[in-house]
Amino acid sequence: MSVPNNDKDFSGSLPKVYETLLVPLIFEPYAADLLKRLAPRSPRRVLEVAAGTGVVTRAMASALPDTTSIVATDLNQAMLDQAASGGTARPVEWRKADAQQLPFEDGSFDAVVCQFGAMFFPDKAKAFSEARRVLKPGGLYLFNVWDRLEDNEFADTVTTALASMFPEDPPRFLPRTPYGYFDRASIERDVAAGGFAAAPDVATVTARSRAQTSQAPAAAYCLGTPLRNEIEARGASRLDEATDVAAKGIAQRFGPGAVDGKIQAVVVTVEK
């Protein structure tokens, strides 16, 4: 499935809202999970692709030995700028790069890590092939993607709420892209098409997403992702209204005050 260019537009205020609201809401538990899988291998050189605002980068910089060099890349310079502005426990090399055409030599890294980026790759097999190319023999490719929308309750609720607001043309960014690449058989086929001979280990990891108010997750999705672009395309003045509609949907499902919803991801590990 092709990814519309607008789905990859993380510009303007999006990176800041993404980092402030979305990262603690849904990304931090999975950054810890990836680090837990990576750290025992004691890699000397790690490449991160689609690093976003750096939640995994910061975790690696804090927990991996100082002798481990970390190169963090993303296609979107605004996201990298946000990541770099937050700082890391030790120096990291930040670099703009396309996961489908990595600017690194063959066999350069002991591990390649990607958190919630593969869903955005237009040619997933090509991106996986590039990860394999830059890995040393025996190196590890580790990535995760969101499971289906229904297993990610806040995102599912926001999608349903906005469909009631725009019944003739509901925004479909969430199910189309971030929650649109979860089929295990498709993932395994793409990994194999990327040249990996070994069968990948595919695991389901469930966690909880918590916020003090229903407004926080509504704002995280409506203001901190390209869903905002879809809402504004239906009426630039309706963004606040859409966020309020999403917040009301979350409050109706999870109750007033603090909210707690299920999140679920698919984690893939494969060796070169």
| Mean pLDDT (whole number) for 241-251 | 98
Q: CA 187 to CA 164: how far, in whole Å?
A: 32
Q: Distance between alpha carbon 253 and the CA centroid of its chain, in Å? A: 25
Instruction: Give 207's strand partners.
Output: 263
Q: What is the pLDDT of residues 43-58, one digit of tens each?
A: 999 999 999 999 999 9
What's phi and psi for 87, nearest 5 deg? 80, 160
**Taking the alpha carbons of 126, 43, 52, 199 in that order, is the dihedral positive or negative?**
positive
Percent of the chain with pLDDT strictly greater than 70:
97
Q: Is the distance from CB of 201 to CB of 269 less than 8 angstroms?
A: yes
Report whether pLDDT(180) > 80. Answer: yes
Tokens representing 227 are 């869903």
Report whether pLDDT(127) > 50. Answer: yes
The architecture (CATH level 2) of 5-148+177-209+263-271 comes to: 3-Layer(aba) Sandwich (3.40)
DSSP 103: -
Report whether pLDDT(27) > 60. Answer: yes
Q: CA 198 to CA 138: how far, in whole Å?
A: 10
What's phi and psi for 94, nearest 5 deg? -95, 135
Q: CA 74 to CA 90: how far, in whole Å?
A: 19
Tokens representing 4 are 């519309």
Among 44, 66, 47, residue whose Cα is nearest residue 57: 47
Residue 160's pLDDT is what?
98
Report yes or no on whether pTM surpasses 0.85.
yes
Q: Where are the alpha helices (DSSP H) in the chain?
A: 14-17, 28-38, 55-63, 77-86, 124-134, 153-165, 173-176, 184-193, 215-223, 227-233, 239-254
Tokens representing 162 are 């906005």
Helix (H), strand (E) counts: the chain: 11, 7
Q: What is the pLDDT of residues 59-94, one digit of tens each?
A: 999 999 999 999 999 999 999 999 999 999 999 999
| Mean pLDDT (whole number) for 257-262 | 97
